[in-house]
Amino acid sequence: MQIYNTLTRQKEAFVPLEAGRIRMYVCGMTVYDYCHLGHARMLVAFDVIARWLRASGYQLTYVRNITDVDDKILVRARDNGEPIADLTERMIDAMHEDERQLGVLPPDREPRATAHISDIIAMIETLIERDYAYHADNGDVFYRVRRFERYGALNNRNPDDMRSGARVDIDEAKEDPLDFVLWKRARPEEESWSSPWGEGRPGWHIECSAMSTCCLGDTFDIHGGGPDLSFPHHENEIAQSEAATGQKYVNTWMHAGALRVDNEKMSKSLGNFFTVRDVLKAHDPEVVRYLLVASHYRSAINYAPETLKDARRSLERFYNALADVEIIEGEVSDEFAERFTRAMNDDFNTPEALAVMFELVREINRHRENAAHAGALAHELVRLGNLLGLLERSPETFLKGASSGINDEEIARQIEARNAARRNKDFAEADRIRDALAEQGIILKDSREGTTWVSENR
């Protein structure tokens, strides 16, 4: 298995620290708001990676943290006039709901920063003892960046050319502008914890160092996250963790690619900012997941109406191939599984893996007259799709309208409204409803028994 390592900037043969076992940590959500599409990109990418590592026979321990204390959380809770715990619990529940919708399996462990305050304090104390950190005059504790000789290696940066990446403004109490905060002195009426440096709360970067090493040990196999975390967050994690433990922190660093909307960076100021739940109100979750899986995890993804249409058409090709075929186990050529495995073992090359699945579709369509063979090919297609978190529904369920972005209940309501309009001889309204459904791919069929519907793509 070859994995691209951000630290070395090349693909490497992956060899776990312990034979047959992999320990992986991925930076999760800061739970002050609903998950957006960029979060979905990261969540799905590492879900596919976790699925494949397990399918490859590894015993995987997958840890993805929750940041439940942070400047943004404090500001949002204050603005909402609600306790911090109420805000974070609500957002965590919403995050889990979004994950389930997208077919993202839960991690093995999901530590929260507030449950590791004692571990965070202990790590900061060690850094102070080793002269990598200092208690400043303003009450904060800072990390001495220039004390760590390998700082900047992950991002190939020279400290002299850097700007501070802390989430707060540069503090005059710092010895060096590059230094970043480990512990923040509490402001009046802020959530805080007791520490040797007074009441306060942890900085963002130290939280992940403490949680990851507590859950996985001083050194572990894989650390992942979104594209914006490589600097400064992961750079700071390396500096903190290795200074505190004296051990190499992580063997392989992985970063998901960015998500863009209509080829623009997603931004509230540009009006192209979408939460996962808003997107899923209008689009089938599997269509969204397919869009996120179809690109290599390190590549940028463009989210736009045409890319969603392409994703829907691709899924329809799969489900149409499975329709009217009895999916049964049977003998098929090993070629498909072997090529799929080679693709996934080449740095989780999902585009190439999907290409193998499309070849299976062509084989199913060629052998439809041979029910047993077509059924065995269909079984293999479903098995491979499931490894990517796809094709987990029946063809009938998907093709009957899920791919149109409108659910069965809404279609039924529209049909009843049309029937009511026809009874009232409001034929213009009845035609309007029919045409509106047709625009979404739903074709109505009237008969003596009533009105039924099909997807135009079936």
Which residues is 240 bridged to in the sheet? none
Amino acid identity for residue 337 in this structure: A
* Spatial separation of the C-alpha atoms in residues 224 and 64, rounded to whole Å: 9
Residue ranges of the binding site: 27, 208, 233, 237, 268
Residue ranges of the binding site for ATP: 268
* Spatial separation of the C-alpha atoms in residues 256 and 258, rounded to whole Å: 7
* 437, 421 Cβ separation under 8 angstroms: no
Strands 133-135 and 59-64: unpaired
Per DSSP, the residues of 158-219 read -GGG-----SSPPPTT-SSTT-EEEEEEPPTT---B--TT-SEEE-HHHHHHHHHHHHH-SS
Amino acid identity for residue 389 in this structure: G
Task: Retrieve residue 439's tokens.
Answer: 């625009």
Residue ranges of the binding site for Zn(2+): 27, 208, 233, 237
Cβ neighbours of residue 359 closer than 8 Å, sequence gap 6 or more? 336
* Spatial separation of the C-alpha atoms in residues 35 and 254, rounded to whole Å: 21
Q: Is 145 exposed, middle or buried (0-12, 13-18, 19+ CB in 10 A)?
A: buried
